[in-house]
Amino acid sequence: MRRAFSLLVLAALPAFAQPAPQPQPAALPAPVFHDFATVAVYPQREAPAAVVSRNESRIAAELPAVVLEMNAEVGEVVAKGSVLARLDPRDYELALARARAAEESTKARLALAEAQLKRARELKAEGFISADALLQRETELAVVAAELKSAAAALATARHNLDKCVIRAPYRAIVRSRGGQVGELAGSGVPLYTLTEAERLEVAAQVPAREASDLAQAKDFHFVGQDGHFALALLRISPAIDRAARTREVRLAFKGKAPLPGAEGRLEWRDAQAHLPAEYLLRRGKELGVFLNEAGKARFLPLPEAQEGRPVRAALAPSARVAGAGRHALSDGQALTPVGAVGGK
């Protein structure tokens, strides 16, 4: 009986010694492809910016004179043509009077010279004077006529100098500083006021040089500051690069309402170039890129500018088929089975 039991146990051992079945690996999901046009993004860019006036002028006296009036104060908004200052005009009024007298004297001499020339021509016709005498009268008339032109120019200069004694605002402006005082001598070229034009405002922004070249095709420019968002239109991009900051200056105009001059904020715009979202990138070897479905085969397209976690510019046709879910199982040149996909097969 004991021997029979032992044989029974030995017979059962092979059955228990067989290895347990191993679990089969889960099947990888089939790759899904999307039209590039459906997944492309247009990243928003920004750069530091400030509101500047197209004109900031230092208004100076154009001639030396004592200041009689200073009519504007710092922070005041002055209208175009308003009187900012008045200078003592007496010396220039006297100069104008002298210029008028000189012109009148020259006109009288011209009238005399014309009369003498007329009489000389009559005498020459009757043979009483020589040709040289007639030529002398003609020369005298020409000299006096030239002197009259000079006297007229001197009179105009005297009038202009007198006008300079009244200093006016060249445009509607904000008074930024006042440099003159009543009673002091205003020197020629010494600023009395500094004005900032209040209406023609621009945004000046420093844009990275690598992005500035594409800015002309960008869209939706806005200045964003503490007063809100303001729509802009691109005016010009400087062709020069700042060597220290590696930026180029960009100027833009406000389409409507504008903040105050001197306001600081940032320029925002949307890139005009289509970018591939970061989640579609994958690495093969040392290269980052994307898998495309080209004629039923997977093709790996390296994107040299790609960086982990950031959208990358991709010069792809809108209909290019970009691998999404399941892309990690793909290999370059792999034949693709036509399966359901987003945006088509």
Q: Model confidence over 47-60: pLDDT tens digits?
A: 999 999 999 999 99
Evaluated on CA atoms 282, 288, 292, 296, the torsion sign reads: negative
Superfamily classification of domain 45-54+199-270 = Efflux pump adaptor protein, beta barrel domain (2.40.30.170)
The CATH fold of domain 90-163 = Helix Hairpins (1.10.287)
d(CA 159, CA 99): 9
- Residues 220-252 pLDDT 10s: 899 999 989 999 999 999 999 988 989 999 999
d(CA 103, CA 154): 9
Evaluated on CA atoms 204, 205, 206, 210, the torsion sign reads: negative
DSSP 188-209: TT-EEEEEEESSSEEEEEEEEH
Output 292 or 337, whichever has higher pLDDT. Answer: 292
Q: What is the mean pLDDT of residues 31-54?
A: 91
Q: What pTM, to 2 d.p., does this model score?
A: 0.66
The pLDDT of residue 324 is above 50: yes
- Domain locations along the chain: 33-43+275-329, 45-54+199-270, 56-88+165-197, 90-163
* Predicted pLDDT of residue 124: 87
- Residue 206, both tokens: 């420093």
Mean residue pLDDT across the chain: 88
Instruction: Count CB neighbours of 339 within 10 A.
Output: 12
- What are the φ/ψ torsions at residue 322 (nearest 5 degrees)? -105, 130
Select 56-88+165-197's CATH number: 3.40.50.300, 3.30.420.140, 3.40.640.10, 2.40.50.100. 2.40.50.100
- Residue 122, both tokens: 């009559």
* Predicted pLDDT of residue 8: 46
Residue closest to 201 by CA, chosen among 260, 248, 266: 260
- What are the φ/ψ torsions at residue 48 (nearest 5 degrees)? -65, 140
The pLDDT of residue 69 is above 50: yes
Q: What is the mean pLDDT of residues 250-262?
A: 92
Q: Which SS3 state, helix, strand or coil, does residue 297 take?
A: strand
d(CA 268, CA 252): 12
* Predicted pLDDT of residue 140: 93
Q: Which SS3 state, helix, strand or coil, does residue 301 take?
A: strand
The pLDDT of residue 166 is above 90: yes
316 φψ region: left (φ > 0), alpha (ψ -120 to 50), beta (else) = beta
* Predicted pLDDT of residue 328: 87
Rg, the chain, Cα only: 44
Q: What is the mean pLDDT of residues 311-334?
A: 89
- Residue 269, both tokens: 């715009």
- Residue 14, both tokens: 């092979």
Q: Model confidence at 342, in pLDDT bands (50, 70, 90)?
A: very low
Whether 290 contacts 328, CB under 8 Å: no
* Predicted pLDDT of residue 27: 46
335: exposed, middle or buried (Cβ count in 10 Å: 0-12, 13-18, 19+):
exposed
Looking from the CA of 106 toward its CB, the CA atoms found within 13 Å total: 20
d(CA 156, CA 227): 50
Whether 275 contacts 40, CB under 8 Å: yes
The pLDDT of residue 19 is above 80: no
- Residue 213, both tokens: 């070249």
Whether 273 contacts 214, CB under 8 Å: yes
